[in-house]
Amino acid sequence: MKIFIAGATGRVAKCVIENLTADGHTVYCCSRHAGDLTETERIKPVNFDLHFNKNEMAEIIKDTDAVYFLAGSRGKDLLQTDAFGAVKLMQACEQVGIRRFIILSSIFALEPEKWAEEKSLQNITNYNIAKFFADNYLVTNTDLDYTIIQPSVLKEEEGTGMIEVDPDHDGSNPIPDVARVLSSVLTMENTFKKVIKMRSGDTPIAAALSNI
Ligand SMILES: NC(=O)c1ccc[n+]([C@@H]2O[C@H](COP(=O)([O-])OP(=O)(O)OC[C@H]3O[C@@H](n4cnc5c(N)ncnc54)[C@H](OP(=O)(O)O)[C@@H]3O)[C@@H](O)[C@H]2O)c1
């Protein structure tokens, strides 16, 4: 497949791109710093800014089969990047008929009642409002075949390949495990129109995903 990735220079995206290219896909790696990326047979760097308007995005993504939103502003531009940037990309997909949309969100982003309860979420309400805005739009305002991945705290650790899906509380997960979940769900129809919360656990990723 031809796959578009917004946020391609990010920590999670780098692992996702490795997985997708290893699976034989061609990845359009989109970033404001596309010049920093090396073009290969399967990696195509593309200049892209989530501040672009919907029509500009549509023109860039129109020849791809699936879109990943793996970008984020680290709290610096929540409204235009994490919230509206994601929504414009969803609208651009609908405009050009791309149905598959996978978004990297954050645990409990669609459950505001948890934001005060979970210690790790208490100081990131603005971030969660932006993620809620994007996730909620995807679920309620689009007809896309979406999958929303909501991981716990990202850790720069070696992956274990073992996760827990739909935990009651926050936790953490190595970045390679989150990336493996993101790349695995691409063609798994049982994950379409699903929100998947995750943290490290004791179920192999493939088994955990096939049970969704
Ligand atoms: N940190 C955590 O513990 C945690 C937990 C759960 C979920 N998450 C989510 O996971 C996401 C990814 O994390 P990460 O660590 O991989 O991110 P990261 O390393 O900070 O990378 C963020 C990416 O977003 C891109 N970006 C930022 N602003 C942009 C814009 N205006 N237009 C286009 N691209 C833009 C950057 O690309 P360029 O600068 O190259 O354009 C970069 O590739 C986070 O954003 C967050 O929503 C994080």
pLDDT in tens, 85-136: 999 999 999 999 999 999 999 999 999 999 999 999 999 999 999 999 999 9
Residue among 5, 11, 12, 61 to mutate when testing ligand 1 (max atoms within 8 A of CB) = 12
C-alpha 44 to ligand 1 mean position (Å):
19
C-alpha 118 to ligand 1 mean position (Å):
22
Residue among 27, 154, 156 to mutate when testing ligand 1 (max atoms within 8 A of CB) = 154
* Ligand 1 closest atom vs CA 13: 16
Using the structure block, give the residue that is written with the tokens 């029509």. 55
CB-count exposure of residue 201 (10 Å: 0-12, 13-18, 19+): middle
Residue 66 has pLDDT above 90, yes or no: yes
Q: What whole-number distance in Å separates Cα of residue 81 and Cα of residue 1?
A: 26
* Ligand 1 closest atom vs CA 34: 40
| Ligand 1 atom 17 nearest Cα | 10
Residue 58 has pLDDT above 90, yes or no: yes
User: By the 8 A CB rule, do 68 and 5 touch?
Assistant: yes
Taking phi first (over 0 means left), then psi (-120 to 50 degrees means alpha), and beta for anything else, what does residue 84 get? alpha
Residue 155 has pLDDT above 90, yes or no: yes
What is the pTM assigned to this prediction? 0.98
Q: Give the domain range for residue 174.
A: 2-210
Residue 57 has pLDDT above 90, yes or no: yes
The phi, psi pair for 44, rounded to 5°, reads -115, 105
The phi, psi pair for 192, rounded to 5°, reads -70, 140
Q: What whole-number distance in Å separates Cα of residue 94 and Cα of residue 26?
A: 21
* Confidence category of residue 69, pLDDT binned at 50, 70, 90: very high
CATH number at residue 81: 3.40.50.720
Q: What is the mean pLDDT of the chain?
A: 97
* Ligand 1 closest atom vs CA 153: 3
Structure tokens at 76: 């610096």
* Ligand 1 closest atom vs CA 151: 6
* Ligand 1 closest atom vs CA 14: 16
Q: What whole-number distance in Å separates Cα of residue 185 and Cα of residue 193?
A: 11
Q: What is the pLDDT of residue 36?
A: 87
pLDDT in tens, 163-204: 999 999 999 999 999 999 999 999 999 999 999 999 999 999
Counted domains in the chain: 1
Whether 81 lines ligand 1, by a CB cut-off of 6 Å, is: yes
Q: Give the mean pLDDT of 69-88.
A: 98
The three-point CA angle 101-144-111 to 5° equals: 80
Residue 161 has pLDDT above 90, yes or no: yes
User: By the 8 A CB rule, do 137 and 90 touch?
Assistant: yes
Whether 172 lines ligand 1, by a CB cut-off of 6 Å, is: no
C-alpha 7 to ligand 1 mean position (Å):
6
